[in-house]
Structure 1
């Protein structure tokens, strides 16, 4: 093994995993060759995740240079289209920029963004969401977790137990989950929601308010397993579109015949969530009847980080500060 730190980390994780497995199953200690095999597999996984993270950070560091080059080429394009002389500061590099412009197409002409790396695989396969809770959840939080699990297609509810956050994220990566949703509580009342995209991030932190569970909704509809249509209303700023993307990519593409609707509506930086099914009224033109499924709650974003859930030193893209709500006309989303 060429990296002592990597071997120590992998040895510790494999020891904890095997110890937990033996404590539950009562199995005897595994043979050294089998332990060495598990160690090799785990170390290869850690190497792969480390390599992917370094490549992502390197590409993200090039965004500033790519944006500056894009602005220079855009100045030359505008000058050629309008018949104006090339700006003085670009005349010495005009030949190189013109050569690059001639080689570009509609896709390569635009600057690359780290969001393209985060959601580069979106649409190639359906999302797979892991829904879990904070440690030692109350019965009400467990029920809320089950109802949140019904919102996301292809979601699986996982009992947290004493699993630490790094172990949870690593297990989700191993089992090809695309997102982690963690619900939190204070004194039995759900008040927090975390959405973490795998394998590179981002992670969005929301506060939950005005929670109404499914059993508190009168005349509620049955939960449909159809992929829902999404309604994202009122996300107009850069941060708003970013939050909308984080929420949007946890859902797969619906079929046109689906009669299930999930709504995220931004009202004064409070994201109102509603869950309905609809039916076309017989004998009418274009009229539909909505029936609520539940649950219903409001979300308020207070932090967006560029890393995953276990990366405490990840770069913070947005964080809500107490003084931000002093400007009455200022809207974040």
Structure 2
């Protein structure tokens, strides 16, 4: 009497069918589920094309009327929604520029001395370690390899300082695979410890090139904070500040979400002949009797050829002075507590 009216039985299947259309994952039949999923995907694709067409038409109309085109939508990414960091460097930061003139790398970056690098290993043998070091020697100019033997790292630091080396690189290996890099600025530090991952040697890169002996051009991207600026200057001090552009060599260290991606390329310029036909082709005959309807044009195309190696670095610690595990003072240490947010970056 006073209860709710029951719906007709014919309406219930229709509602269930609607739900299944919007939720293809609930359909148990694989063929029907894949067919509906493909249909929904195609509808989204058609709708996206329609929106792009309307946007292009609005931009064209605005240009014809002399108005400003509608603003393009910027997608939300982890990079452009990163948490606010007060240590981000600003172009008018006078304190930062004053510190650059007095830090440990100023003499090299002002070209008062030429960087000289000593590369060594940990005490354990590695299968890919020597191959990786050989490629580092081909990338970093004026770098020299010395076998570690049984010497302690402090003794190696003292020896390298006496011999006039400006930096020391230690390649650490685990299970016969390079897994860490230790970069020590000489004679007074700092010491940076990086985790090394995703190593790809030159021979494993498809269509790789062979580097020349020219000094490479160095490109550092996205080192925006005070800590990132310091790490960038440490890496910059490994390379001479007078690149030889004739060699067309480029070493890139790109920081993204606190992962530093290392790449080594060469520019290659190629001339390609393309035939461009005129709107009104001429019917004049050449000396051979053929019609010159197409006019050849020389276009210069530029492309990149990767030389290797390819790897990724992640900063673990930055320590004041040279390497000291017991009494060393750390500028920055990566801890698991710092990884509570995906939008917090330190470099």
Q: TM-score scaled to structure 2, two decimals?
A: 0.61
1:116 matched to 2:102: yes
Output one character per residue of 1:282-313: Cα deviation in whole Å (capped at 9) or x when no partner: 3446x422111111000000111111124742
Aligned residues of 1:280 and 1:289 also touching (Cα < 8 A): yes
Residues 152-231 of structure 1 aligned to structure 2 (within 5 Å)? 152-231=140-219
Measure, in 2, the Cα distance between the counterparts of 1:200 and 1:311: 16
Structure 1 residue 114 displacement after superposition = 8.2
Measure, in 2, the Cα distance between the counterparts of 1:114 and 1:307: 17
Aligned residues of 1:263 and 1:274 also touching (Cα < 8 A): yes
**Which of residues 272, 275, 287 in structure 1 aligns to 2:264?**
275
Going by fraction, where is helix more abundant, 1 or 2?
Answer: 1
Count of residue pairs brought into register by the alignment:
225
Measure, in 1, the Cα distance between the counterparts of 2:161 and 2:325: 14
Highest Rg: 1 or 2?
A: 2
* 1:241 equivalent in structure 2: 229
1:288 matched to 2:276: no
Q: Following TM superposition, where does structure 1 have runs of at least 4 consecutive aligned residues deviating by more than 4 angstroms? A: 109-112
* 1:322 equivalent in structure 2: 336
Q: 1:212 to 1:166 in 2, by over 3 A?
A: same
Output one character per residue of 1:150-176: Cα deviation in whole Å (capped at 9) or x when no partner: 221000011111111111011101110
Aligned residues of 1:229 and 1:258 also touching (Cα < 8 A): no
Measure, in 1, the Cα distance between the counterparts of 2:121 and 2:172: 6
- Point out where structure 1 has 5 or more consecutive residues left out of the alignment: 1-106
Structure 1 residue 280 displacement after superposition = 2.2
Aligned residues of 1:169 and 1:310 also touching (Cα < 8 A): no
- Cα RMSD (Å) of the superposition? 2.1
Q: 1:216 to 1:173 in 2, by over 3 A?
A: same
Measure, in 2, the Cα distance between the counterparts of 1:256 and 1:111: 27
Structure 1 residue 328 displacement after superposition = 1.3
Q: 1:317 to 1:156 in 2, by over 3 A?
A: same
**Which of residues 251, 262, 279 in structure 1 aligns to 2:239?**
251
Output one character per residue of 1:130-185: Cα deviation in whole Å (capped at 9) or x when no partner: 11110022232122122222221000011111111111011101110000011111
Measure, in 1, the Cα distance between the counterparts of 2:101 and 2:196: 26
Secondary structure at 1:210 match in 2: strand
Structure 1 residue 111 displacement after superposition = 8.7
Aligned residues of 1:131 and 1:156 also touching (Cα < 8 A): yes
**Which of residues 248, 252, 274 in structure 2 aligns to 1:263?**
252
Aligned residues of 1:136 and 1:161 also touching (Cα < 8 A): no
Output one character per residue of 1:251-293: Cα deviation in whole Å (capped at 9) or x when no partner: 00213433000000011111000011112233446x4221111
